[in-house]
Structure 1
Amino acid sequence: MDARTSYDELINLSKQTALLASCEALLSWEQQTYMPPGGVEHRGNQLALLAGMIHEQRTDPKIGDLLGELEASDLTGKPDAVEAVNIRELRRVYDRATKLPRALVEEFAKTTTVAERCWAEARVKDNFPAFEPHLARIIDLSRQMAECYGYESSPYDALMDSYEPGATCEQVTALFGRIKEGLVPLVASIIASPKQPDESIVRRNYPVDRQEILGEAAAAAIGFDFQKGRLDRTAHPFCSTIGPGDIRLTTRYNPVYFNDSFFSILHEAGHGLYEQGLLEEHFGTPMGEAVSLGIHESQSRLWENAVGRSHSFWRHFYPRTRQVFHATLHDVALEDFHFAINRVKPSLVRVDADEVTYNLHVLIRFEVEQAMLSGDLPIADVPAAWNQKYQDYLGVTPPSSKDGCLQDVHWSIGAIGYFPTYTLGNVYAAQLMNQAEESLGSLDELYAAGEFHPLLTWLREQVHAHGQCYRSAELVERVTKKAPDETALLESLRSKFGQLYDL
């Protein structure tokens, strides 16, 4: 068999697995949006079966044989060629997958399906003890998976590698240290400033049906294609990729808090724009998949914050917002509204956090996850440890687990090692936005005119179209000519909030 024939066979197997995974994604999406509570056990069995089947396909010895043959062929001669990228990344997937026994994969899928439903109920009832045994089991299974994968320094590295290939605890810990050093004095200056926004503006009455209209309009305005996607309600916002032409966004609504749904929608739409920007002809192969969760988060945080919380965005969008919520905002000037949506205040809930304190929320989760995984933090002690870190880092103490350690869905779905990608995403986003400004000219002028397409086009050319051709750090450096670091992020925060708070 010649190399081209073998390559075509490998790609065909990869696409078959992707089709099966898309069925798994659809069931997972439906579980979090429309499935009745009574279906959780059956859904767990369905997802466990699918997880096992997907795992079996990914670990088919035929794939190993094909990869071995292709790695010795001239198809790998040019590292950034489509064929070479697919061969390299499919090898990575194959090597990791073959380290996990099918029974462990199925058990993990079933456990997290049940745990997610339990988490949703426990959060509503503020009942951490009800979720505790599920979390304990997830941590135990995560340890087993880390041991199967193998690692040099920390089991957390093995798990984080699933979301941000190549990232290590040592690197991320150092990054967080530098970011924290830069943020602490900025937060203190902002809190001490005599100029403060009227937070009550975003805490007025915002009817949910009108929030839905405005949120969908905003997502469409920045480029999300609703002919190839949709927006639904869930307990915790997320974006789910079913396949080409089918990207599902979700959000939650609070009738007396504007920010909750609006910026969640922009955040998830950012994820959706990335998925819609991946090349459809490469679906089911690494060249048609996102680089990493860090790059993915760079897209969501970019549209949510750099665009969606900018003054120029609201110069364009605020007149429409006042029309939709006329009874609520008829007496509120643009400047006051913009200041209110950008208020900086240590808070309890990550998804409600401002841009300045957000990374401290992520740091807390990063440290708690490592402690759970190492066994230094017993699961029963998680609420107390969480609360203490919030007091130490943000000066606030959660009054309940609902607004404390139960606020995020991630642990219930087994995403241990995911949280650092939010901060990595912020770092990447700041550098990408600096380069976009240099390449496109004044982005503020474009936003004020309602022109978001130039930025989206630039991102699709510079980021989306490359699939997994480059690792995160390499991609950012290729686009911005600078290795990723915290400099651009800290500078952008100091500039923006220095102006808002007259620092």
Structure 2
Amino acid sequence: MMQEAYRWLWEHSRETAYLASFGRLAGWDQATYIPRKGHAHRAQMQAALAKLLHQRATDPRVGEMLAVVEGSDWLGPPESVEAVNVREWRRAYDHACKIPQRLAVELAQATSEGEAIWQQARPKNDWEAFRPTLKKIFGLTRELADAIGYQDEPYDALLDQYEPGATTKQLEPVFARLRQATVELLKRLDGSTRKPDTSILHRHFPQSAQEAFGREVVAKIGFDLEAGRLDVVAHPFMQGIGPGDVRLTTRYYEDYFNAGFFGIVHEMGHGLYGQGLLPEHFGTPMGSEISLGIHESQSRTWENLVARSLGFWRHFWPRAQQHFSSLGDVRLEDFHFAINEVKPSLIRVEADEVTYNLHIMIRFEVELALLRGELSIDDVPEAWDTKYQEYLGVRSAEIRDGVMQDVHWSAGLIGYFPTYTLGNLYAAQFFARAEQELGSLEAQFAQGEFTPLLEWTRKNIHHQGSRYWPRDLVRVVTGQDLNPQFLIDNLNLKYSALYAV
């Protein structure tokens, strides 16, 4: 009976995952190739699918089958495949049952419409066109938090969807420590007389050459292009449709190297995680990423710790000069310094490694204030600009470079932004552990050897699926709890050397 109940849950979970794959495919298409007039119909499609998925997620038979298998010795130890699946199925079922179907459908439709409105309004700096939609999405999201329930903060109910077990109370001291260290480092770097020549990054870089070089790099690192795609969008993302289908996107500027290249490598990091999940577990928790923070640790590892290292470019520099004639007279060391420039800026996705987390903290604080009722949607643009002035010393002249720059809020991803900084923290700690076990990684990169690090992450992170919650995974892999000092030390060591301070 127990085995039959488990088998039913397993099949139900996989079938639900196949349906969800259709939704991800529709979402990818909406961001890439959908006709401009197709958005309204796509919103209705996504709403209908959300209704179906919610019905499956709250099917009373799921609860009945879980009751049969839970607590059984047949499941084995807590870390076994069966025990992990049952644990996470229970978590997902209890969560879904708290959300009224009406709310799930309304959110799906509002966010699908919201993304389309954002795409059209942002280039026009049209806050008034976007503001009502954003107000509606935040209203529905607050309703979602209340439906899920929370102990201390409405925000915790949302954060827990993306980072299981995380709370505002946990994050605030970690973020405060990182913020202080970042501000201190920025002051030291600002006092340096050594500055990079970033004009070399604004020469001519043909889009076709950027794409060709990007494809060459990701293939060399280990991303399977026969099981993936690379396309152009307004806001880069990775979409895992399922085994054998993991899609990357980026955006190119022919007068700026960093945006396209590091966008590709960043999304490739996400894509490697998607391709590293064990296909035999597809559709079950053991075949799923445990959190967005762990996901982000993978993209940040490859973007910052690998692709911004001097060793990486010692290997790829000859090929870069062959792809881009504009780099023919550039010294490798000057290029490496330029791509690692530290300069406060407005755009999060183009921010340097040091200032990036301040962008996240601003969004985290604005979201908290909105969910607490301390800030209204109408006042968000001014609050946003004030925080940017305070934290980074810059202020947006156009709202598309301010509060409207990110797609996330229009997509309903509220409580999501902290996972970016958590990803940076996890990445530094994982990388330090990998280097303890594998030896100097930068020396390996200089030789074009990326397989050891990729295999290490596959074994220790990707193949673990949802076996451990994020902070438990950090403890299992590194032997200690999350510690921001790894990232702080990494940034201080690297940038003190670059800027000679």
Report if TM-score (shorter chain) is over 0.5.
yes
SS of the residue aligned with 2:246? Answer: strand
Partner of 2:54: 55
Partner of 2:409: 411
Partner of 1:120: 119
Q: Choose the corresponding residue for 2:424, options 420, 423, 426.
A: 426
Q: Does 1:486 align with 2:488?
A: no
SS of the residue aligned with 2:400? Answer: coil
Deviation at 1:232, TM superposition (A): 0.4
Listed one character per residue, the Cα deviations across residues 309-336 of structure 1 (whole Å, up to 9, x for unaligned) are 000000001111111111x111110000
Q: Does 1:329 align with 2:327?
A: yes
After superposition, where does 1:190-339 map in structure 2 within 5 Å? 190-326=189-325, 328-339=326-337
Letter in 1 for 2:396: P
Q: Does 1:21 align with 2:13?
A: no
After superposition, where does 1:73-112 map in structure 2 within 5 Å? 73-112=72-111
Aligned partners of 2:182 and 2:72: how far apart in 1? 50
SS of the residue aligned with 2:410? Answer: helix
Partner of 2:471: 473
Q: Does 1:38 align with 2:37?
A: yes
Q: Choose the corresponding residue for 1:458, options 445, 450, 456.
A: 456
Deviation at 1:72, TM superposition (A): 3.1
Aligned partners of 1:193 and 1:33: how far apart in 2? 43
Q: Choose the corresponding residue for 2:390, options 389, 392, 405.
A: 392
SS of the residue aligned with 1:103? Answer: helix
Aligned partners of 1:172 and 1:241: how far apart in 2? 28
Deviation at 1:192, TM superposition (A): 1.2
Aligned partners of 1:345 and 1:303: how far apart in 2? 21
SS of the residue aligned with 1:250? Answer: strand
2:196–2:337 contact (8 Å) kept in structure 1: yes
Deviation at 1:221, TM superposition (A): 1.6
Aligned partners of 2:127 and 2:205: how far apart in 1? 31
Listed one character per residue, the Cα deviations across residues 396-451 of structure 1 (whole Å, up to 9, x for unaligned) are 11111111111111001000011000000001000100011111111112101111
After superposition, where does 1:159-170 map in structure 2 within 5 Å? 159-170=158-169
Deviation at 1:216, TM superposition (A): 1.4
Letter in 1 for 2:74: L
Letter in 2 for 1:480: T
Deviation at 1:73, TM superposition (A): 1.7
Aligned partners of 1:205 and 1:344: how far apart in 2? 22
Partner of 2:362: 364
Letter in 1 for 2:444: L
SS of the residue aligned with 1:413? Answer: coil
Aligned partners of 2:103 and 2:476: how far apart in 1? 39
Letter in 2 for 1:260: A
Amino-acid identity (%): 53
Deviation at 1:502, TM superposition (A): 0.5
Deviation at 1:306, TM superposition (A): 0.1
TM-score w.r.t. the length of structure 2 is 0.99
Aligned partners of 1:325 and 1:484: how far apart in 2? 41
Letter in 1 for 2:168: C
Partner of 1:500: 498
Listed one character per residue, the Cα deviations across residues 160-188 of structure 1 (whole Å, up to 9, x for unaligned) are 11100111111111111000111111011
Deviation at 1:68, TM superposition (A): 0.8
Listed one character per residue, the Cα deviations across residues 49-76 of structure 1 (whole Å, up to 9, x for unaligned) are 0011011101100000000111032233
Aligned partners of 1:87 and 1:33: how far apart in 2? 36
Aligned partners of 2:321 and 2:94: how far apart in 1? 54
SS of the residue aligned with 2:481? Answer: coil
After superposition, where does 1:173-184 map in structure 2 within 5 Å? 173-184=172-183
Partner of 1:347: 345
Deviation at 1:374, TM superposition (A): 2.1
Aligned partners of 1:266 and 1:58: how far apart in 2? 34
2:345–2:351 contact (8 Å) kept in structure 1: yes
Aligned partners of 1:222 and 1:245: how far apart in 2? 17
Listed one character per residue, the Cα deviations across residues 206-233 of structure 1 (whole Å, up to 9, x for unaligned) are 1111111111111112111011101001
Deviation at 1:117, TM superposition (A): 0.8
Question: Which shifted more, 379-388 or 339-348?
Answer: 379-388
SS of the residue aligned with 2:241? Answer: strand
Deviation at 1:308, TM superposition (A): 0.6
Q: Any gaps of 5 or more consecutive residues in structure 1? A: none
Aligned partners of 2:128 and 2:202: how far apart in 1? 32
Aligned partners of 2:445 and 2:128: how far apart in 1? 47
SS of the residue aligned with 1:65? Answer: helix
Aligned partners of 2:128 and 2:256: how far apart in 1? 29
Letter in 2 for 1:472: P
Aligned partners of 1:258 and 1:377: how far apart in 2? 38
SS of the residue aligned with 1:230? Answer: strand
Letter in 2 for 1:392: E
Q: Any gaps of 5 or more consecutive residues in structure 2? A: none
Letter in 2 for 1:167: A
Aligned partners of 1:411 and 1:485: how far apart in 2? 29
Letter in 2 for 1:93: A
After superposition, where does 1:425-444 map in structure 2 within 5 Å? 425-444=423-442
Aligned partners of 1:461 and 1:56: how far apart in 2? 35
Aligned partners of 1:218 and 1:401: how far apart in 2? 35
Letter in 1 for 2:62: I
Aligned partners of 1:330 and 1:165: how far apart in 2? 48
Letter in 2 for 1:50: L
Aligned partners of 2:431 and 2:455: how far apart in 1? 13
2:312–2:442 contact (8 Å) kept in structure 1: yes
Aligned partners of 1:254 and 1:493: how far apart in 2? 28
SS of the residue aligned with 1:227? Answer: helix
SS of the residue aligned with 1:248? Answer: strand
2:76–2:82 contact (8 Å) kept in structure 1: no
Partner of 1:186: 185
